[in-house]
């Protein structure tokens, strides 16, 4: 099979790799859609990056399990144990007993999803609704997933105003999710392409995050109250601080963008006196699957979240576009 690997600084190679073997309830999937996530960071640094998003068709099932040959499925990330308290409660993304892919399957190579075939435990496969394309269904990974989880946890509705900092694919997915719930949405980003895309997806107010007037504009929009919720999708200290400053008293912030710098916050003024809550959101609870599929099925704008569909062999070009922030979600097709 073909497999795309990051082989150096700004380099992708299409190589031949053996088709992985399924085992027990880990089934073989013919991959039809591979959404790009943050691969471009590995590409810019010349470091291998294991893709983790995919949708495809089940083609081999070693033993009877929850899926059958011919099923169309979305692949959820990682290899959680499936039996610990976190897994059973649906919070499998936080499982502390992830399988060692190579040790369990005996397959050589890694579990990268930039491939034509992959194996996954059946319990991590989500059925694609009839008539829904692989490309759209694959948005149930990181395109819509993290912000869906955040909005579910905060129970955001049409009564709420949500600030989304960062208009990359995840933040733009947040616009789709928040508009589906009827919330008012403010998005901030320095890149014009992303701001335009946010508008196209229905954001009510779109601001340049580098404009010093961004906080006053948000306070103006909320009649000096501040926003009910902030979804921080930029992974930057300035954006974290903007979420804290723009939050209403007793507002909520979800950190979604990865960042290793210290938090720019104070216990007294921000958390105790203002009473905001702040937590992290990685993926979403598995029990939310039917609802995220409903967003994909019914959102009038969700298809616009996909800005490019390219063959896997053009991953180099896809990463050029992605690294220049001139895209929303990019999806690669391994068989074209």
Binding stretches for Zn ion (CB under 5 A): 37, 53, 80-81, 84, 87, 95, 97, 142
Question: In terms of CB distance, is 82 or 109 closer to Zn ion?
Answer: 82
Q: Residue 283 Cβ, how far from Zn ion at the closest point, in Å?
A: 9
Question: In terms of CB distance, is 53 or 112 closer to Zn ion?
Answer: 53
Q: Residue 141 Cβ, how far from Zn ion at the closest point, in Å?
A: 6
In sequence order, the 6+-apart residues with CB closer than 8 A to the CB of 260 are: none
Distance CA 139, CA 137 (A): 5
Question: In terms of CB distance, is 50 or 311 closer to Zn ion?
Answer: 50
In sequence order, the 6+-apart residues with CB closer than 8 A to the CB of 20 are: 28, 105, 107, 109, 117, 118, 119
Question: In terms of CB distance, is 74 or 183 closer to Zn ion?
Answer: 74
Nearest of 48, 52, 53, 50 to residue 11 by alpha carbon: 48
Question: In terms of CB distance, is 81 or 217 closer to Zn ion?
Answer: 81
Q: Residue 157 Cβ, how far from Zn ion at the closest point, in Å?
A: 27
3-class state of residue 13 by DSSP: strand
- Max distance between CA atoms of the chain, in angstroms, equals 60
The answer to whether the beta carbons of residues 110 and 124 sit under 8 Å apart is: no
Question: In terms of CB distance, is 196 or 258 closer to Zn ion?
Answer: 258
Block residue for tokens 């039809």: 32
Q: What is the rounded (10 degree) CA torsion for 8, 45, 53, 13? A: -10
Q: Residue 325 Cβ, how far from Zn ion at the closest point, in Å?
A: 17
In sequence order, the 6+-apart residues with CB closer than 8 A to the CB of 94 are: 86, 282
Q: Residue 268 Cβ, how far from Zn ion at the closest point, in Å?
A: 36
Q: Residue 53 Cβ, how far from Zn ion at the closest point, in Å?
A: 5
Distance CA 69, CA 134 (A): 16
Q: Residue 181 Cβ, how far from Zn ion at the closest point, in Å?
A: 22
Question: In terms of CB distance, is 53 or 189 closer to Zn ion?
Answer: 53
Block residue for tokens 């499998």: 92
């Amino acid at each position: 099979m073909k497999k795309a690997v990051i082989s150096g600084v700004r380099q992708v190679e299409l190589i031949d790799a053996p088709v992985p073997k399924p085992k027990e309830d880990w089934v073989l999937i013919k991959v039809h859609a591979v959404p790009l996530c943050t691969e471009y960071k590995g590409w810019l640094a010349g470091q291998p990056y294991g893709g983790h998003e995919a949708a495809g068709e089940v083609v081999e099932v070693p033993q009877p399990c929850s899926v059958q040959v011919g099923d169309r499925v979305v692949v959820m990330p990682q290899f959680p144990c499936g039996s610990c308290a976190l897994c059973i409660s649906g919070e499998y993304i936080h499982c502390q007993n992830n399988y060692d892919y190579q040790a369990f399957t005996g397959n050589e190579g890694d579990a990268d999803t930039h491939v034509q075939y992959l194996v996954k435990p059946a319990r991590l496969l989500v059925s694609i609704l009839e008539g829904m394309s692989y490309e759209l269904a694959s948005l149930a990974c990181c395109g819509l997933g993290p912000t869906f989880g955040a909005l579910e946890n905060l129970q955001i509705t049409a009564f709420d105003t949500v600030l989304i900092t960062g208009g990359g694919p995840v933040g733009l997915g947040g616009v789709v999710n928040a508009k589906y719930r009827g919330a008012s949405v403010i998005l901030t980003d320095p890149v014009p392409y992303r701001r335009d895309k946010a508008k196209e997806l229905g954001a009510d107010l779109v601001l340049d995050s580098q404009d010093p007037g961004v906080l006053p504009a948000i306070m103006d929009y909320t009649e000096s109250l501040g926003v009910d919720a902030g979804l921080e999708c930029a992974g930057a200290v300035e954006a974290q601080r903007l979420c804290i400053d723009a939050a209403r008293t007793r507002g909520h912030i979800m950190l979604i963008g990865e960042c290793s710098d210290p938090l720019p916050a104070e216990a007294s003024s921000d958390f105790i006196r203002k009473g905001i809550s702040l937590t992290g959101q990685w993926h979403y609870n598995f029990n939310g699957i039917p609802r995220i599929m409903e967003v994909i099925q019914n959102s009038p704008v969700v298809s616009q979240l996909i800005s490019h569909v390219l063959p896997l062999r053009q991953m180099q070009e896809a990463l050029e576009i992605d690294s220049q922030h001139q895209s929303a979600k990019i999806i690669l097709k391994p068989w074209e």
